[in-house]
């Protein structure tokens, strides 16, 4: 154990992934070359890419209409690439606004067509997930952000809709089982639950593509990536390798079902402490609390700095809240052990008693 790493992303990775990757940096599979030195079109790397894509399909139980791509450009590129490929100039897409990341997606979509903000929790500082909304059956798609990394809210029930459902799952992908086949496109930056920064997972239904009339640049057209087996240009080799190792680890742990059990236990321990400790307070409505990013504040903000220093001494890192929300945010991604949450909770108890 190094430190208790609650970073929001890039974030903690399983030790065995780091160990394996460190060996591959020197000599990959006995090839006499580093993973950084091998050609991306060699059988050595092809096997990595194939396994990573297969593991995604298997762990998410995706049906055969889905193609799995590992792309460049972060989830932020998807904010633009999705409407470019799926939203006609004179058509409307529906978006639910649950915070900073939804807003960035909305801003890009407006460059390509009309956007209907079907619901927003902006008026209450994004402290909940909207429950009431109507989606026009004519809408090109509905976009949601399943977990709001900054505000600490999460969709616990995926909305039913007749239009294609698109989700940014950057901060809760594979943290729980879900009927992923309800979606038409799922995307996620790998740097939280799926590996290292540098690659983005896109799982897209082939049947929704090819319907817009605009010209799409080659590198931004999903169909070209599909045709080329997610190797249209040089892929982010190392990031994909780390993702493959992380998914192998996830499968060994028992997949999304096992992850959910563990993640629920971790979140319950921390939220319980937040609710009973007089010094701390949660920031979002209980039923929408995220199991990935736990955001909380102190009733005495003048003690915040001191608490952060105390945590640092206890080897607890990454719990400073996002600058927009303040306070604290503890990210409890798949790879974070339960013991780290126990250490944080002990620190909260101790600090609170000392200050009582
Ligand atoms: N969506 C969500 C929900 C995120 O948390 C983030 C990054 N924190 C992004 C999108 C942007 O991802 P990237 O930095 O990979 O573009």
Per the listing, tokens 């997930």 go with 129
What does the alpha-carbon distance between residue 113 and residue 138 come to, in Å, rounded to a whole number? 13
- Closest residue by Cα to atom 12, ligand 1, is 75
Locate the ligand 1 atom nearest the alpha carbon of residue 147 and give its number: 3
pLDDT of residue 356: 81
- Closest residue by Cα to atom 10, ligand 1, is 75
H and E: helices and strands count for the chain: 9, 14
pLDDT of residue 2: 85
- Closest residue by Cα to atom 5, ligand 1, is 149
Give me the helices (H) in 228-314, please. Answer: 237-253, 255-276, 304-313
CB 341 within 8 A of CB 275: no
pLDDT of residue 56: 98
Which residues in 274-324 belong to E strands, given as ranges?
A: 280-282, 293-298, 316-317
Bind-site residues for pyridoxal 5'-phosphate: 75-76, 101, 149, 168, 191, 233-234
pLDDT (average), residues 62-80: 98
> Hey, do 15-253 and 254-355 end up sharing a CATH topology, with the first three levels equal?
no
- Protein fold of 254-355: 3.90.1150
Q: What is the pLDDT of residues 214-260, one digit of tens each?
A: 999 999 999 999 999 999 999 999 999 999 999 999 999 999 999 99
pLDDT (average), residues 46-64: 98
Q: What is the pLDDT of residues 3-31, one digit of tens each?
A: 999 999 999 999 999 999 999 999 999 99
Give the residue, out of 74, 75, 96, 108, with the most ligand 1 atoms within 8 A of its beta carbon, to mutate for a pocket test: 75
User: What's the gap in Å between 121 CA and the centre of ligand 1?
Assistant: 19
Q: Which value, in Å, is the radius of gyration of the alpha carbons in the chain?
A: 21
User: What's the gap in Å between 227 CA and the centre of ligand 1?
Assistant: 26
**Ligand 1 pocket, residues with Cβ under 6 angstroms:** 9, 74-76, 101, 145, 149, 168, 170-171, 189
Q: With the C-alpha atoms ordered 9, 15, 21, 23, is the resulting torsion angle positive or negative?
A: positive
What does the alpha-carbon distance between residue 161 and residue 211 come to, in Å, rounded to a whole number? 20
Regarding pTM above 0.80, the answer is: yes
ipTM exceeding cut-off 0.90 for this assembly: yes
CB 6 within 8 A of CB 314: no
pLDDT of residue 279: 96
**Known catalytic residues?**
101, 168, 192
Angle, CA of 200, 72 and 231, to the nearest 5°: 100
Q: Does domain 15-253 have CATH number 3.40.395.10?
A: no
What does the alpha-carbon distance between residue 239 and residue 99 come to, in Å, rounded to a whole number? 27
Q: Domain ranges in the chain?
A: 15-253, 254-355
Q: What is the pLDDT of residues 334-351, one digit of tens each?
A: 999 999 999 999 999 999
CA nearest neighbour of 159 among 123, 122, 129: 129
User: What's the gap in Å between 219 CA and the centre of ligand 1?
Assistant: 21
Give the residue, out of 10, 11, 71, 76, with the most ligand 1 atoms within 8 A of its beta carbon, to mutate for a pocket test: 76
pLDDT greater than 90 at residue 76: yes
Instruction: Give first-to-last CA distance, the chain, whole Å.
Output: 31
What does the alpha-carbon distance between residue 160 and residue 180 come to, in Å, rounded to a whole number? 13
What does the alpha-carbon distance between residue 96 and residue 74 come to, in Å, rounded to a whole number? 21
pLDDT greater than 80 at residue 1: no
DSSP state of 289: B
């Amino acid at each position: 154990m190094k430190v208790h790493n609650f970073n929001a992303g890039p974030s903690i990775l399983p030790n065995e992934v780091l160990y394996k990757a460190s060996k591959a940096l020197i000599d990959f599979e006995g090839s006499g070359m580093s993973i950084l030195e091998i050609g991306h079109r060699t059988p050595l790397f092809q096997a990595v890419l194939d396994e990573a894509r297969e593991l995604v399909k298997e762990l998410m139980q995706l049906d055969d209409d889905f193609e799995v791509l590992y792309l460049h450009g972060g989830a932020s590129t998807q904010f633009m690439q999705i409407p470019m490929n799926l939203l006609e100039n004179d058509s409307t897409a529906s978006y639910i606004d649950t915070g900073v990341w939804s807003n960035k997606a909305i801003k890009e979509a407006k460059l390509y067509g009309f956007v209907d903000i079907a619901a927003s929790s902006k008026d209450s500082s994004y402290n909940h997930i909207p429950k009431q909304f109507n989606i026009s059956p004519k809408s090109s798609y509905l976009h949601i952000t399943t977990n709001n990394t900054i505000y600490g809210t999460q969709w616990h029930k995926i909305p039913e809709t007749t239009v294609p459902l698109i989700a940014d799952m950057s901060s809760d992908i594979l943290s729980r089982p879900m009927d992923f086949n309800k979606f038409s496109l799922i995307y996620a930056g790998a740097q939280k639950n799926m590996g290292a920064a540098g690659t983005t997972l896109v799982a897209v239904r082939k049947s929704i593509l090819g319907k817009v009339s605009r010209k799409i640049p080659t590198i931004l057209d999903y169909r070209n990536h599909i045709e080329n087996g997610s190797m249209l240009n040089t892929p982010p080799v190392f990031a994909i390798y780390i993702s493959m190792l992380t998914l192998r680890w996830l499968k060994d742990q028992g997949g999304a079902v096992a992850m959910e059990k563990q993640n629920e236990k971790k979140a319950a321990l921390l939220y319980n402490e937040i609710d009973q400790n007089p010094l701390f307070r949660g920031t979002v409505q209980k039923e929408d609390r995220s199991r990935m990013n736990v955001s909380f504040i102190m009733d005495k903000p003048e003690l915040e700095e001191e608490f952060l220093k105390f945590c640092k001494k206890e080897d607890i890192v990454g719990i400073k809240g996002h600058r927009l929300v303040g306070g604290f945010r503890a990210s409890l991604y798949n790879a974070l052990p339960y013991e780290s949450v126990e250490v944080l909770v002990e620190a909260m108890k101790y600090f609170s008693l000392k200050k009582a």
